[in-house]
Amino acid sequence: MFINKFLYFSDKLKNMKIIKWWVDRFAIGGLMLGSLFSTLTGILLLLYAVFFIDPYIKTGKNNTFGISEFQNGIPVQVKMPSYKTWTAAIPYPDSSGTGRIFLNTAAGPLRNGATVTTGQFDTGTLYVTTTDRMQRFLLLLPAILKVLTFSFVAWQIAVLLSTVRAGESFSTENNKRLLRSGWLILGIYLFLTVYEIFYQPFGAYTMHTFSGERVTDIYPDQQVSFSWLVAGCIFIILSLAFRKGETLQQEQDLTV
């Protein structure tokens, strides 16, 4: 009985003009706009990364940081309103309330030659202030890749929806669109997983930098989420379904 009611309402909903209007005008256009917007964001990110950005690693209250976060030799800077606790080898904040740690310049046991061990600050933000463009690029690469992947997939879905609307759902092109999106998502997932194993801090900083959320812990497994794997698989499974649909459609078209 419940199912009948549900079917009745879903049928009613499907026939509602407003829903049709929304799907027609908004869903496809919105996806295309979103795709364009995120492509633009991706390019801006790249430019920003290479020329301007000072992404933060940690912000908020009662933060600590350790060796693992500096292993790739990114010079960092701590901005804070007043003097806080520091361990040895980390300079005190200057008169402007900015503590500077340039790991590249010091000689020491780490890969980058820094002698910094651990640090702590109560309030403030830890920034990455490298002037090396390559490092900036590497730092933001995961975010850029994710944005570009999203824009590509969104575009593919938009085009697919428009073909479905035109009544040509099961075509070779649509099948390819889904397959392309699926493999791209899986490829990026794989790449970022490997990338973040080798460049743990880079990957870790990136997303938090642009999402603007508070960061308390930095681990690579927060970055490439498992849902990417699931999404990629769903796209590929969908493409298989579309392939079957294409065969059935062809058979239907050639039935007299």
Partner 1 sequence: MPIVVNLDVMLARRKMSLTELSERVGITMANLSILKSGKAKAVRFSTLEEICKVLECQPGDLLEYMNEKEFKKLMGS
167 binds partner 1 (CB under 8 A): no
Phi-psi region of 97 (alpha: psi -120 to 50; beta: other; left: phi over 0): left
Number of C-beta neighbours around residue 230 at 10 A: 12
254 binds partner 1 (CB under 8 A): yes
Q: How far apart are CA 72 and CA 202, in angstroms?
A: 8
| Contact call for residues 142 and 197 (beta carbons, < 8 A) | no
Which of residues 194 and 248 has its CB atom nearest to partner 1 in the complex? Answer: 248
Coil/strand/helix, residue 218: coil
Number of C-beta neighbours around residue 21 at 10 A: 10
CB of 252 to partner 1, least distance (A): 9
CB of 251 to partner 1, least distance (A): 5
CB of 30 to partner 1, least distance (A): 37
217 binds partner 1 (CB under 8 A): no
CB of 230 to partner 1, least distance (A): 37
Residues touching partner 1, count (CB under 8 A): 5
Which of residues 1 and 256 has its CB atom nearest to partner 1 in the complex? Answer: 256
Residues 222-251 that bind partner 1 (CB under 8 A): 250-251
Q: How far apart are CA 182 and CA 240, in angstroms?
A: 11
255 binds partner 1 (CB under 8 A): yes
CB of 173 to partner 1, least distance (A): 22
Which of residues 4 and 252 has its CB atom nearest to partner 1 in the complex? Answer: 252
Residue from 182, 137, 170, 180 nearest 250 by CA: 170
| DSSP output for 140-158 | HHHHHHHHHHHHHHHHHHH
Which of residues 166 and 256 has its CB atom nearest to partner 1 in the complex? Answer: 256
Question: What residues make contact with partner 1 under the rule CB under 8 A?
Answer: 250-251, 254-256
